[in-house]
Amino acid sequence: MLFLLHKLLFLNIITSIVLLFLSCSQTKYGELLVFLIDIKQDSSLTLSEIAEEITAVYLEITDESLINTGSIKRIIITENNIIVAETNRIFVFNKNGEFLYTIGSRGQGPGEYNNINNVVFDDQSQCLFIISRGPNKIICYQLDGSLKKESLLSRVGMYYDINYLHDELYLDFIYMWNDAKRILFKMNADLLVTDSIISWENYYRRNYAGLFYFSDFIIKNNSSVYFYPSEVYPKWNAPEVKVMRDTLFRIENNQLVPELKLKFMNDGFDRYGDKIIDISNIYRSSRYVFATYKINPNNRTNDHEITQRYFFCYDTKTEKGYNMLDGYTDDINRIEGRVFIRPLNTDSDIFYYWHTHMKPDEREEPNPTLYIGKLKK
């Protein structure tokens, strides 16, 4: 009996050491960096540990600038302005948060957008590019709100992300018909396709549903461009999906070169062989690796109420990893609860998030405060 107790104690100690190792380690498979994640870990990571500075900007509220935070697609920070793109509205503020004007209007006519998927701004030309659906098209506005050009896009699919890098537009497109393909298109300033890269193909003959919280898939850091080609799942039969999209790629010479990958305990599958990990995004800055993923212990039910959202951050300088349920702790601004940070798509060393501060005597919800942070290097 005493022998069995000692043996159980020994196994528990070994298990704890293994879990500790998995939660905060990296290894190499050939030249590829692999980051091991313990999904049972829920650590706390304060923003003061990773941020060099954070600036708070209150976004002015007027009758024309009421922001619905639940429909924000992307926030763009330029040299002089802050652009907030919702599903059907685009607001422009100055750097102090004062509201200036809106760009464009909702509709299906020339120069109008309907259901914005994402936006990007080119500093050099001072142009704002918008991808919208219904119909799928790309629209280019000058920052003053005047329409410059637009072009219709393929109707048999969805455009999720857009970025303007190295004088080219990158469009993340998922073709959905009898099969599915994820294609990265490159366009010139005249909105003409110049090249394309297929990142994956599959053949699920079903309706599709994306699992994207935010579409930050094409990210620039220094001189490198990174792309995370997330999965798109059959709508009602997710357990048949056996592929884990766990790799972040670097775009070089019109090819996708593996940069790093995530490795979960049991490779993200349960004992029945069903996938329980849904990765929403992977990206990196100069120093950190970030990821967002969901855990659904019973994917067969497709029950989103039991899905848990986790955030992963790995510090390549200290070689320490953090796995967090629901986000990061803002100990600088002392925001209650946890926050979800997003990268600036043209410079992932800059991040942002927002929070709505309600006063006890306020009857209507004010506009959010935008927080802009700079990561440590």
- In the predicted model, what is the mean pLDDT of residues 43-64? 96
Q: Is residue 10 situated within a structural domain?
A: no
Q: Is residue 18 situated within a structural domain?
A: no
Q: How far apart are CA 304 and CA 231, in angstroms?
A: 17
In this predicted structure, the answer to whether residue 187 has a pLDDT above a threshold of 90 is yes
Answer with the residue of higher pLDDT: 11 or 63: 63
pLDDT digits (tens, 9 = 90+) for 100-119: 999 999 998 888 998 999 99
Q: Is residue 16 situated within a structural domain?
A: no
Q: Is residue 101 situated within a structural domain?
A: yes
Q: Is residue 129 situated within a structural domain?
A: yes
The DSSP result for 80-101, as a single string, is SEEEEEESS-EEEEETT--EEE
Structural domain containing residue 90 = 27-375
- 206-209: long-range contacts (C-beta < 8 A, 24 or more apart)? 206/234, 206/235, 206/236, 206/237, 207/234, 207/235, 207/236, 208/174, 208/176, 208/180, 208/232, 208/233, 208/234, 208/235, 209/233, 209/234, 209/235
- In the predicted model, what is the mean pLDDT of residues 254-272? 88
| Residue 206: CATH number of its domain | 2.120.10.30
- In the predicted model, what is the mean pLDDT of residues 230-243? 58
Q: Is residue 20 situated within a structural domain?
A: no
Q: Is residue 240 situated within a structural domain?
A: yes
Number of domains in the chain: 1
Q: Residue 268: which pLDDT band, with cuts at 50, 70 and 90?
A: confident
Q: Is residue 239 situated within a structural domain?
A: yes
pLDDT digits (tens, 9 = 90+) for 338-367: 999 999 999 999 999 999 998 777 778 899
pLDDT digits (tens, 9 = 90+) for 171-182: 999 887 767 788
Mean model confidence pLDDT for the chain: 85
Which residues lie closer than 8 Å to 229 by C-beta, 6 or more apart? 172, 182, 184, 199, 200, 217, 245, 249, 256
Which of 164-168, 195-199, 216-220, 241-245 comes out lowest in average pLDDT?
Answer: 241-245
